Amino acid sequence: MFKFLLVLAVLSVALSARILEEDKHTHLNFDDIMKVVNQAGSTWVAGIPTRWANATHADVKMSLGTIMPEEEGYEGPESIRSTFRDSSIPENFDVRTNWPECAAVTGHVRDQSSCGSCWAFGSTEAFNDRYCIRSGDASTLFSPEDTAACCSGLSCSMSQGCNGGQPAGAWKWFQKTGVVSGGDFSNMGDGSSCQPYSLQACAHHVAPTGDMVACDSLPEFPTPKCTKECETNYGVSFEKDKHFATGSYGIKGTENMQKELMEKGTLSVAFTVYEDFEAYTGGIYQHKTGKSLGGHAVKMVGWGVENGTPYWTCINSWNDTWGEQGAFRILRGSNECGIEGSVVAGDA
């Protein structure tokens, strides 16, 4: 019993103690970052993000929230898929164009708001993409809110909503509990899904435009309450709206990741965010300077080569005003920032 309680304590602390006292007083130096990154021959471009121009490490860490394999408390997938179809690997591939009938789902860019729920988005979105690819249902969006609010405790690798979590735990939860439908904040109250995301979308890194508010104008959101009911004007019960995965597993190795993407679609991946990533505006990211800020989970949809540099294509959950219309590219083949070492997928 003591060992069991100790494991629980370690997992809980690993997720919740991301922000240290020194983080509250340490600022990011974007002038220095830009000097290092924006040199001749660089594969990406750094800029000064409006939101983080005067930010501390503590401010930035609120948008992260995933444990990486080398960190205490990490729980990886229970099995690894190692057998794939014998097929040639093309130079370029993208889930969004390979299954065009699902582009409305696979290419949809979401917004986690001021909440460290990236783990819930990176997992729920990947499952959603795979569900569309298998079923042809391009009208149903799955609910990151259901995942963030209700996937917790031992059944979810001790994930803690806005305080962080683990994609592998979420995928196991998809098998056992399932996830309901859920659109974006803009869908609140329109009856189009069971549990749309209740935290307001905001301008990540960039100046707010139109009716989009600045993220730093919003409060630090607590984890939404886990409720077992849908919006009142949605015509399906919570229990009947659940969608279940039929399996989950990890993927090891660049070629296996590529084969998995070609066979079944989107992957859940995690990587270490360094200070310079917060200055990313476009191009093929590779870490150049700055300290580690924490783990971040996203979905991976493909790969390619540009000017001889191989890359992965990933979609973030900081809305489509960030990066390359909500996406980013990152160096492929060298486990850049750990992105090839924390890969989870499953069967829809």
Helix or strand or coil: residue 283?
Answer: strand
Among the listed residues 127, 178, 110, the one whose alpha carbon sits nearest the alpha carbon of residue 150: 178
**Residue 148, both tokens:** 């963030």
Burial class (CB in 10 A: 0-12, 13-18, 19+), 6: exposed
Residue 53 CA to residue 271 CA, distance in Å, equals: 23
Domain with 227, as residue range(s), is: 2-347
**What does the pLDDT look like over 283-295, one tens digit per residue?**
999 999 999 999 9
**What does the pLDDT look like over 58-69, one tens digit per residue?**
888 888 889 999
Catalytic residues: 118, 296, 316
**What does the pLDDT look like over 238-267, one tens digit per residue?**
999 999 999 999 999 999 999 999 999 999
Residue 63 CA to residue 115 CA, distance in Å, equals: 6
CA 231 to chain centre: 25
DSSP assigned state of 186:
G
User: Could you give the C-alpha distances from 265 to 101, 128, 147, 152, 293, in angstroms and in order?
Assistant: 13, 10, 20, 26, 29
Based on the structure, what is the number of domains in the chain? 1
Average pLDDT estimate for 315-319: 96
Q: What is the predicted pLDDT for the residue at 154?
A: 87
With cut-offs at 50, 70 and 90, classify the pLDDT of residue 138.
very high
Instruction: Give the least confident one: 16-30, 60-74, 186-200, 213-227.
Output: 16-30
pLDDT over 90 (residue 9)? no
| CATH code for position 293 | 3.90.70.10
Average pLDDT of the chain, as a whole number? 92
Element at 238 (helix H, strand E):
none
Residue 273 CA to residue 64 CA, distance in Å, equals: 8
Count other C-beta atoms under 10 Å from residue 308's C-beta: 6
Query: Could you tell me if 230 and 242 are in contact, meaning their C-beta atoms sit under 8 angstroms apart?
Result: no
Confirm whether pTM is higher than 0.85. Answer: yes
With cut-offs at 50, 70 and 90, classify the pLDDT of residue 5.
very low
**What does the pLDDT look like over 216-240, one tens digit per residue?**
888 778 899 999 999 999 999 999 9
With cut-offs at 50, 70 and 90, classify the pLDDT of residue 4.
very low
